[in-house]
Amino acid sequence: MSKIVIECQDISCYYEKAKPVLSNLSFAIHEGESVGLIGANGSGKSTLLGALCGLISHEGVMQVAGLSVEKVNLPEIRKKLGYVMQDSDNQLFLPTVYDDIAFAPRNYGLSAEDVERMVTEALRRTGIEHLKDRQNYKLSGGEKRMVCIATILAMQPEIILMDEPSITLDPYNRRTLIQNLQAMPETKLIASHDLDLILETCERVILLDEHGIKADGDAEVILTDEALLKSCRLELPYCYQKVVPLKKG
Ligand SMILES: Nc1ncnc2c1ncn2[C@@H]1O[C@H](COP(=O)(O)OP(=O)(O)OP(=O)(O)O)[C@@H](O)[C@H]1O
Ligand SMILES: [Mg+2]
C-alpha cells in the first residue's frame, strides 16, 4: 500500500484543554486516497480539519506529510496542505480574486508569467474567469466559494482538506466542483453534509459521532446503511431517497 500522509493515533482536539471536542481518535490516510468526513452538526469535522492544519490544539500523535503537527513544522506542513475553510470569509484575505488565487504561486517564487499561467488555469477549471478582477468582499457567497476552491487548485498542494466545499454553490458550480475533485489525484479529506458529493468523490468515509469515529470504511457501504446514518442523526444521500413533491389542498 502507498505511504501514509495523514496519521492520527489516539488524538484529542480541544479549544479548552479540560473539554476536548474529539477524544481517542485514530486513523491513517494513504497517499492518493479520497476520504469523506461526515457527521452531524457539532460532531467535530471542522475541528479535526483545523487541528490537522495546526490551527486548533491537539494531544496525541498527529502527522501530516510525515511531519508531526507542531509549531516548528507548520510552515513546511502548510506548503503541502491546501485547506478550503467552512467560512469563505475566513479564507479570502486579499483585496481581489486575482491576488488571492496568485498568493500561493507568488509565494513559491515563480515568475510573473508562471503565476499568470497558474491563476488563469485555476480560473478556467473553476469556470470563474469573469470574476478575475473583482473585489472579494463584493462577491456572492457561492462566488466566494468558487474563488476559495480556485486558490487551492492554483496552490497544487499534495494534500487537500475541504470543509463543506459545496455549501452555497448552485447546481452547475457544484457539478464543476465534483468534476474537479474527481480529476484531482491528490490525497483528499472532505468534510460535508452533501452526502451525494461524498459518494461521487470519495471511496472511503469516516463517520463521526459524539463519541468519536463511529465507522470508517467503504463509502458506498456506509452511505447506504440507513440505520447507521440515522443513529448518527444523518440520512441516506438524496440519490437513495424517495422524494415526494408537496401537493396543495
Ligand atoms: N472556537 C470554539 N470554541 C469552543 N468550542 C467550539 C469552537 N468552535 C467549535 N466549537 C465546538 O466544538 C464542537 C465541534 O464543532 P465543529 O465546528 O468541529 O463541528 P462540525 O462537525 O464541523 O459541525 P458543522 O456540521 O455544524 O459544521 C461543537 O460542539 C462546537 O460548539
Ligand atoms: Mg463544520
Q: Which residue has the cell 480556485?
A: 150
State how beta strands 57-64 and 159-163 pair.
unpaired
For the chain, give the number of residues: 249
Ligand whose nearest atom lies closest to the CA of 50: 1
- Residues 6 or more apart whose CB falls under 8 angstroms from that of 104 comprise 151, 154, 155, 156
Q: What is the pLDDT of residue 248?
A: 86
Widest Cα–Cα separation across the chain: 65
Atom 6 of ligand 1 has which residue's CA nearest to it?
15
Three-class secondary structure assignment of the chain: CCCEEEEEEEEEEEEECCEEEEEEEEEEEECCCEEEEEECCCCCHHHHHHHHCCCCEEEEEEEECCEECCHHHHHHHHHHEEEECCCHHHHCCCCEHHHHHHHHHHHCCCCHHHHHHHHHHHHHHHCCHHHCCCEHHHCCHHHHHHHHHHHHHHHCCCEEEEECCCCCCCHHHHHHHHHHHHHCCCEEEEECCCHHHHHHHCCEEEEEECCEEEEEEEHHHHHCCHHHHHHCCCCCCHHHCCCCCCCCC
CA 191 to centroid of ligand 2, rounded, Å: 7
Q: Is the CB of 22 under 6 A from ligand 1?
A: no
- Chain-wide mean pLDDT for the chain? 95
CA 42 to centroid of ligand 1, rounded, Å: 5
* pLDDT one-digit tens code per residue, 7-63: 999 999 999 999 999 999 999 999 999 999 999 999 999 999 999 999 999 999 999
Q: What is the pLDDT of residue 1?
A: 67
- Residues 6 or more apart whose CB falls under 8 angstroms from that of 247 comprise none
Q: How confident is the model at residue 2 (pLDDT cuts 50, 70, 90)?
A: confident
Q: Is the CB of 192 under 6 A from ligand 1?
A: no
Q: Is the CB of 39 under 6 A from ligand 1?
A: yes
* pLDDT one-digit tens code per residue, 175-224: 999 999 999 999 999 999 999 999 999 999 999 999 899 999 999 999 99
CA 166 to centroid of ligand 1, rounded, Å: 19
CA 20 to centroid of ligand 1, rounded, Å: 11
Q: Taking 90 as the threshold, does the pLDDT of residue 84 lie above it?
A: yes
Q: How confident is the model at residue 76 (pLDDT cuts 50, 70, 90)?
A: very high
- Closest ligand 1 atom to 43 CA: 21
Ordered by where they begin, the domains of the chain are 4-87+158-240 (3.40.50.300)
Atom 12 of ligand 1 has which residue's CA nearest to it?
21
Q: How confident is the model at residue 108 (pLDDT cuts 50, 70, 90)?
A: confident
CA 109 to centroid of ligand 2, rounded, Å: 33
Q: Taking 80 as the threshold, does the pLDDT of residue 249 lie above it?
A: no
Q: Is the CB of 44 under 6 A from ligand 1?
A: yes
